[in-house]
Amino acid sequence: MANLKSRFNLRDFGANLWEGWNRQTRVTFTLVLIGLVALLPFAASWGPTSFLNTPITSFENVLVYPVGMFVLMALGLNIVVGKSGLLDLGYVAFFAIGAYTQAIMSTTLGWNTWEVLPFGIAFAMVAGVMLGLPALRLRGDYLAIITLGFGEIIRIVALNLKITKGPDGIPGIPNPPAILGLDFSLENPSHYFWLVLGMILLVIWMIRRFTIRRPGRAWEAIRQDEDVASLMGVNTLIYKLWSFVIGGAVGGAAGVLYASKTMVISPDMFKFEVSILILGCVVFGGIGNIWGVVVGASILAYLPERIRFISDARQLVFGAVLILMMNLRPDGLLPRKKREKLTKRGSL
Amino acid sequence: MSEKVLELKQVTIKFGGVTALDSVDFHVNRGEICALIGPNGAGKTTVFNVITGVYPATSGEILFKEKSILGLKKHQVTKTGLARTFQNVRLFGEMTALDNVIVATDVHKRTGLVRALFGTPLNRREERSGSERAHELLKLVGIDHRSDQLAKNLPYGDQRRLEIARALGTEPEVLLLDEPAAGFNPAEKVELADLIKKIRDTGYTILLIEHDMSLIMGISDRVVVLDFGQKIADDLPTIVQNDPRVIEAYLGVPADAS
């Protein structure tokens, strides 16, 4: 089969540029980049970038959901699918657990988002262990099917329990109280965006830390050859479990935030399609590469909103973009590093 | 002098109706190079697999430093001090040579996820020592100049050497080498023999599967011969070489004898 991968590899180009810089340049670049992204909510009202504006939903809201949330979840799923190579088709379950934790605890106990957040994360992590312990003994397709089932179980449980109010869902979830000068009222969607951005940066920091140290090496070894990894002393079950748990924690955090932003949740928000779409973001951007996943999720979340003016043809265009993209760049927009570096080099 | 570091007692493995190993009994003394030979399908690699916990034994006992290691998980066996290479090279191809070895050195580290996340002093120390140790081992096998290359891009001979370095990364007491010279030309085989002797002299015990008789006769202290899952000889190389049963196993019975 013809390989249409271009000779110019943007990923390696970026990596080379980055490696050539000293610490000061790197810090400056990172801060400028974060600053520019933080200014995104104003892009729609500024002349030269006003073409970014989305027709139906306001641009600021689109930046929070779907864009910010998708990036967050795609990064979480990438730990599972990209880092340790476990195909998880039920990732939405963790999102749902986080969202329902927020919905139930805030409406019954009256706790605010910041108080619920640790619980949302913890419950998602526990769910990760409960799913992982039996499921991670299986591999490949079998694991994928179990995770798919898990995603459906959580949704169907939410559909049938009294405490989740079944198909009606839970209304009246309060917005998060103001924190650090950010005011989370519905008139201020950009403040939500900055919050999500902060969480995304935290997750990226975490993944980068893991990647260049022991856990990242263990995951990479498991992804490449699980049997050999265990023969070289990697406790494969524990590390696979950790990747599930950490991925789940990110999903749970995203869920808590999502519930307090939308204020109403119901089981049909947590369908199988969401898992697939997030997996699509990961694959589209480039499995295993943080920047690829961020770019991929941003595009896949933003595009349908941007072309909403063509109404019914929207999904058709979206699908065409996916097919075209996967033909031209089967490894994703920004593929995994060609020379994976799993240890810090040079001076520490 | 001859302390038994690894001992197989009456080990039997059956796959359905096939008996892959039939009451195999042998031991490896500390500090020696013990060769395990036999015709194709004799069960040599199966011996490695049962020692390292890939297959469970149907019956029998495996003692490592006088403790049973039967029933331990693969990574636990490795942690007790047994490491192996593979008949067909099985490196982590998408990792650099250095990282391949560092993965193995992680076995004895105490850094978990939380320590790694916050970069505690212990974690930094361990990361540094792992990297240093990996470089040492790459030097030992003679491929330190390739440390930053992806394992899959290394020449075949270097890949085989990297496998040995990776196994040594787990700091084993007994190193199990599964046909380390497969596919080598005579000159490379001589180099490899020197390397194996060097590794033994550094303080490791080696159990070696090999087909090349001149290599085995040159470096091994003792030879164990398997045929159809049974041990048929276990002695000094020169004696094994002239053992009629061994010759029969390899060459068949002379026509006039039957």
CATH of B90-171, one of 3.30.830.10, 3.40.50.300, 3.10.20.30, 3.40.50.970: 3.40.50.300
Question: Between A210, A233, A342, which is nearest B99 by CB?
Answer: A342
Structural domain that includes position A129: 63-271
Q: What is the pLDDT of residue A322?
A: 81
- Edge to edge, the sheet with strand B4-15 lists B18-29, B4-15, B59-64, B67-68
Name the range with the highest mean pLDDT among A42-46, A318-322, B214-218. Answer: B214-218
pLDDT digits (tens, 9 = 90+) for A155-204: 999 999 888 888 888 888 888 888 777 777 777 888 889 999 999 999 99
How many structural domains compose chain A?
1
The answer to whether residue A80 sits within a structural domain is: yes
What number is the ipTM of this complex? 0.90
The answer to whether residue A332 sits within a structural domain is: no
Q: What is the mean pLDDT of chain A?
A: 86
What is the phi/psi pair of residue A183, to 5°?
-115, 115
Chain A and chain B share a number of CB contacts under 8 A equal to 115
C-alpha distance from residue A75 to each of A62, A68, A163 (Å) = 18, 11, 30
The answer to whether residue A12 sits within a structural domain is: no
A80: confidence class by pLDDT, cuts 50, 70, 90: very high
A341: confidence class by pLDDT, cuts 50, 70, 90: low
Q: For residues B46 and B52, give the distance between their C-alpha atoms in angstroms, rounded to a whole number.
A: 10
The answer to whether residue A192 sits within a structural domain is: yes
Give mean pLDDT, residues A96-102: 94
Record: contact A215-B83, CB cut-off 8 A: no
Record: contact A343-B128, CB cut-off 8 A: no
Give mean pLDDT, residues A123-134: 93
Nearest CA in chain B to A237: B75
Q: Provide CATH code, domain B1-81+172-258.
A: 3.40.50.300
Is the separation of the CB atoms in B143 and B97 below 8 Å?
Answer: yes
The answer to whether residue A299 sits within a structural domain is: no
Whether residue B144 has pLDDT greater than 60 = yes
More confident residue, A182 or B145: B145
Q: List, by residue range, all CATH 3.40.50.300 domains of chain B.
A: 1-81+172-258, 90-171
- Mutate one of B52, B82, B109, B113 to test the A interface: name it (highest A CB count within 10 A): B113
Is the separation of the CB atoms in B240 and B223 below 8 Å?
Answer: yes
Cβ-based neighbours of B252, under 8 Å, separated by 6 or more: none
The answer to whether residue A29 sits within a structural domain is: no
Tell me the whole-structure pTM to 2 decimals: 0.88
